[in-house]
Amino acid sequence: MIELCGHRVGTDQPLFVLAGPDVIESEAMVKAIARQLQGICQRANTPFALKCSFDKANRTSGKSFRGPGLVEGLAILRRIKKETGAFLLTDVHDVTQVEAAAEVADILQIPAFLCRQTDLIQAAARTGRAINLKKGQFVAPRDIVHSVEKAHAVGNRNVLVTERGASFGYNNLVVDMRAFPIMRQAGLSVCFDATHSVQLPSAADGETAGERQFVATLARAAAAAGIDALFAEVHEDPDRALCDGPCALTPAMFEALLKDVLAIRGALGHHGSSAKAGQ
């Protein structure tokens, strides 16, 4: 059991939602998506944090759009957080970004390719902010516990582990549904990244392609396997998104998906409680 933004996350607790645009394309767009997602999650009685990056430092091509960068990006996210009241997740790629990001974000995300970077994990953990640790495409479910323990070692127990598929061949990812019970049995709180899991990495001539049509199938299967949180890229016009558009959902598509996931969890008896931690 962990806490994210004051909410208990774990077995028999409400599903926690992490959703939003992949990267800041404009302040107006991110703010509009944040408000729509707040409405969706309020209707579903589901805790929510907006996820959005100020910089995508691991794009396939050096020519790809990365976002406004640390200073401008965090300023935008700070204003959006103040105006909407949404909790906020953003990712950090380097130890030098951690302190500034922690002043704005409620949850710091460690990207999948960096999930074994000890200094980065521990710098993020020392801020006291909750951590969303993306499980690398190269890490077995039983092995991610070692990365989590790096945060525990500096006193931070609030670490969510996010599954986003494993690489078993060129330009493709596969989600092994056994990963969720394996990680839960290790005492971890687990999240499913429904949109990055359908990526076709580097398959579009210097860009990452994706198979959006499989997002719902995988998310429903993950809900049945047992998840504590759901992560998704949501964009007002995915086909025109500047990053990971082929994987992203519209707000309407996400709302339909969330209803399915909650129904499956409910059928399995995982209704949870809407109470905040400490209440």
pLDDT tens digits, 264-274: 999 998 765 44
- Is residue 196 within 8 Å of residue 164, measured between CB atoms? yes
Residue 55: exposed, middle, or buried by beta-carbon count in 10 A (0-12, 13-18, 19+)? buried
Residue 203: the pLDDT is 56
Q: How far apart are CA 101 and CA 16, in angstroms?
A: 21
Checking if the pLDDT of 279 tops 80, the result is no
Domain ranges across the chain: 2-267
Work out the number of other CB atoms within 10 angstroms of the CB of residue 142.
12
Q: What is the pLDDT of residues 149-200, one digit of tens each?
A: 999 999 999 999 999 999 987 888 999 999 999 999 999 999 999 999 998 8
Can you tell me which residue has the tokens 């309020």?
42
Q: Tell me which fold the domain 2-267 belongs to.
A: TIM Barrel (3.20.20)
Full 3-state SS string of 75-115: HHHHHHHHHHCCEEEEECCCHHHHHHHHCCCCEEEECHHHC
pLDDT tier for residue 244 given thresholds of 50, 70 and 90: confident
Q: How far apart are CA 16 and CA 23, in angstroms?
A: 21
Q: Which residue has the higher pLDDT, 64 or 159?
A: 159
166-169/209-210 β-pairing: unpaired
pTM: 0.93
Reading the block at residue 254, the tokens are 């996400």
Tell me, rounded to whole angstroms, the distance of Cα 61 from its chain centroid: 22
Residue 57: the pLDDT is 77
Sign of the alpha-carbon dihedral angle for 51, 243, 199, 43: positive
Q: How far apart are CA 166 and CA 173, in angstroms?
A: 5
Percent of the chain surpassing pLDDT 90: 82
199-200/48-51 β-pairing: unpaired
Q: What is the pLDDT of residues 3-45, one digit of tens each?
A: 999 999 999 999 999 999 999 999 999 999 999 999 999 999 9
Residue 277: the pLDDT is 46
